[in-house]
Structure formats: C-alpha cells, structure tokens
C-alpha cells in the first residue's frame, strides 16, 4: 500500500513538474525542435534541471544495498545498441516533432480539455496496446 | 509567434521531474520511464499493476488541477491538422515501445545513469524530432 501511495505522489510531482516546465504546451516542445523560426531553448533547461537532480540520486545507488522500501533494484542493465532501439527512437522522434507531445505531457493533459490532446493520447495508447498484442503473439509462436 | 523562453520555470519544473524520478529510484528501485510505466499496464503481471496505475493517476490529477488553476498551461490545442495529431500519437506510441523508452526513461533516467543505449536513443529522437518539426514548420508555417 505504501508503495502505491508513493507512486501516486511521484506521479503528482512529475505531472506538476511537466506543467511548471512548460512541457504540457506542445508549442514549447516544437519551439525547441523547430530550428527554423524563433528558437526556444527552454526544453534544454527542463532536461538539465531533471538530470542535475537525478544524476546525484544515481550516485547514491551503489552506496545502498537495496532500495529503501524494496528488495531489489529493477534497473535496466543492457548496454548493447541494436536496430530496434534506433528504429524506435526514429519513430518516436518523428511523432514528437510532428505532434509536440511525448508520453508524460500527453497523459498529464489528456483530460484538461483540448481535443487534440485527447486525439493524440488515444492514438498513442492504442498503438502501445497494439504493440503489446503483437509482441505477446510473437512470443507465443 | 514563437513561445517565450522560460529558463527559470523550465529548470524548476525539470528539477521536480528529477525529484520524482529520484524518489521512485531510491525508495522503490524503479525507473520513472513514462512509456514503460504505461506499457507494463498492457502486459500486466501480478503485483506489478497498482504502482503503475497510481503513478498515472498522479499525472492525470496534476493535469486536472492545472486545468482548473492555469488552463493556459495544459488545455492548449496543437496547431496541426487532426490527422497529423493522430499519426503523431501512433508514432510516439509505437516508437517508445519498440525503442524501450521516451524522454523520461531514456532522456532523464538513462542519461543520468550514463547508459550508452539511452545516449544513442536521445541523440536519435532529438535529431529526427528537429528534422520533422523544422520541415513541418517550414511547409505549414505553424508553430504547433
């Protein structure tokens, strides 16, 4: 139960961070990515602020035997670069540049009232669902 | 009309995102990758659902609160044709699942962990995102 409450709080703080940072406004994301007109560097400050804090947190991981409330670390260990990684990043980048939303801001704003956010987030969730059906079927073969 | 440059609020918001990710990491040992958190809900495993749902509820509640007090920050239409918005959603959904992460998982968490996979991912999606946004901007004159 406490893990669920912590995740709720973490989601809340994450969402407030996205709103305060300006990332729930697609125009600010596209203003960073579109190098053509009046470039807006704000997105780099969002990444910088987040990484500055989180980089320090990672320095504590080797000092802890296990997570404070957990039994083991559930962290990615792969270091190989494969085609799927690059192909996925190409597709994601294309959608990000086209729509101005990545998954966090899309979910945060989904019921805020804009119809384009609802279209984007529904399409995104449907594609994720389709991908999970595909991979589950592929694993079963 | 390009948006205003907001270095202070953007860095502050970024720090809150980093704080949230750090709490999940140090307390639960988990990575705050949004696409991964949602993706796990489509292939549910026993005992691994509650925290994912709770995190997403937290995000949505933050968005609802913002819509009540500062709607100009969250209730904004994208300056693109609806079909483009739909295609963008499909690309983001598929791409983040195929490539195992998005701006949070590969960007914030992966770069903080100094993961070579995440560095390749971030460089790739930033470059392609810049290419597509610049092309669409040049062709339509829209700023999203």
Query: What is the pLDDT confidence band of residue A71, given thresholds at 50, 70 and 90?
Result: confident
Q: What is the DSSP string of chain B?
A: -PPPP-HHHHHHHHHHHHHHHHHIIIII-----HHHHHHHHHS--TTSSHHHHHHHHHHHHHHHHHHHH-HHHHS---SS-HHHHHHHHHHHHHHHHHTT--IIIIIIIIHHTT-HHHHHHHHHHHHHHHHHHHHHHHHH----
Q: How many domains does chain A have?
A: 1
Query: What is the pLDDT confidence band of residue A137, given thresholds at 50, 70 and 90?
Result: very high
Tokens of B115: 């993961």
Predicted confidence at residue B144, as pLDDT, reads 62
| Cβ-based contacts of B136 with chain A (< 8 Å) | 34, 97-98
Query: What is the pLDDT confidence band of residue A36, given thresholds at 50, 70 and 90?
Result: confident
Spatial CA neighbour of B97 closest among A8, A7, A23, A132: A132
Predicted confidence at residue A124, as pLDDT, reads 98
Residue pLDDT, tens place only, B31-67: 999 999 999 999 999 889 999 999 999 999 999 999 9
Tokens of A54: 């989180």
Tell which A residues from 47 to 76 touch B, by Cβ distance under 8 Å.
47-58, 60-61, 64, 66-70, 72-76
Q: Looking at the predicted structure, is the pLDDT value of residue B131 above 90?
A: yes
Question: Cα(B14)–Cα(B27) distance, rounded to whole angstroms?
Answer: 20
Return the residue of A nearest to B92 by Cα.
Answer: A92
Return the residue of B nearest to A117 by Cα.
Answer: B77
pLDDT average, residue stretch B133-143: 87
B83 in contact with chain A, both atoms CB, cutoff 8 A: no
Predicted confidence at residue A5, as pLDDT, reads 97
Spatial CA neighbour of A47 closest among B43, B25, B111: B111
Packing angle between helix B34-42 and helix B50-69, nearest 10 degrees?
120
Rg (CA), chain A: 18
Residue pLDDT, tens place only, B64-122: 999 999 999 999 999 999 999 999 999 999 999 999 999 999 999 999 999 999 999 99
Tell which A residues from 100 to 119 touch B, by Cβ distance under 8 Å.
100-104, 106-117, 119
CB spacing of B91 vs A95 below 8 angstroms: yes
**How many inter-chain contacts (A to B, CB under 8 Å) are there?**
529
Q: Are B58 and A11 in contact (CB under 8 A)?
A: yes
Percent of chain A, pLDDT > 90?
Answer: 88
Q: Looking at the predicted structure, is the pLDDT value of residue A73 above 60?
A: yes
Predicted confidence at residue A37, as pLDDT, reads 74
Predicted confidence at residue A85, as pLDDT, reads 98
Residue pLDDT, tens place only, A100-136: 999 999 999 999 989 999 999 999 999 999 999 999 9
Mutate to test the interface with A, among B37, B42, B93 (most CBs of A within 10 A): B93
Domain containing A86 equals: 2-140
State the complex-level ipTM. Answer: 0.96
Question: Cα(B77)–Cα(B89) distance, rounded to whole angstroms?
Answer: 14
pTM of the model: 0.96
Please count the other Cβ atoms lying within 10 Å of the Cβ belonging to residue B12: 17
CB spacing of A132 vs B97 below 8 angstroms: yes
Predicted confidence at residue A1, as pLDDT, reads 83
Tallying the residues shown for chain B, one arrives at: 144
Predicted confidence at residue A139, as pLDDT, reads 87
SS3 A22: coil
pLDDT average, residue stretch A3-30: 97
Q: Looking at the predicted structure, is the pLDDT value of residue A98 above 80?
A: yes
Average pLDDT, chain A: 95
Q: Looking at the predicted structure, is the pLDDT value of residue B2 above 80?
A: no
């Amino acid at each position: 139960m406490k893990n669920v409450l912590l995740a709720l709080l973490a989601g809340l703080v994450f969402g407030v961070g996205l709103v305060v940072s300006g990332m729930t406004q697609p125009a600010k994301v596209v203003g960073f990515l579109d190098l053509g007109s009046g470039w807006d560097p704000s997105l780099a400050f969002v990444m910088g602020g987040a990484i500055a804090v989180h980089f320090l947190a990672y320095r504590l991981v080797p000092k802890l035997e296990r997570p404070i409330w957990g039994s083991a670390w559930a962290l990615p260990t792969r270091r190989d670069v494969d085609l799927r990684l690059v192909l996925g990043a190409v597709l994601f980048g294309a959608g990000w540049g086209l729509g101005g939303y990545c998954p966090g801001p899309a979910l945060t704003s989904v019921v805020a009232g804009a119809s384009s956010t609802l279209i984007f987030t529904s399409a995104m969730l449907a594609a994720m669902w389709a991908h999970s059906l595909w991979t589950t079927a592929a694993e079963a073969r | 009309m390009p948006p205003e440059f907001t270095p202070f609020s953007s860095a502050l918001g970024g720090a809150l995102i980093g704080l949230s990710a750090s709490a999940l990491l140090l307390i639960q040992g988990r990575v705050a990758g949004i696409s991964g958190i949602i993706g796990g809900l489509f292939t549910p495993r026993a005992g691994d659902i509650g925290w994912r749902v709770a995190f997403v509820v937290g995000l949505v509640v933050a968005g609802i609160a913002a819509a009540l007090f500062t709607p100009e920050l969250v209730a904004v239409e994208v300056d693109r044709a609806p079909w483009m918005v739909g295609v963008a959603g499909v690309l983001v959904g598929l791409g983040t699942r195929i490539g195992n992460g998005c701006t949070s998982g590969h960007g914030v968490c992966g770069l903080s962990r100094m993961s070579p996979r995440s560095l390749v991912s971030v460089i790739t999606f930033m470059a392609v995102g810049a290419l597509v946004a610049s092309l669409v901007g040049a062709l339509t004159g829209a700023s999203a």
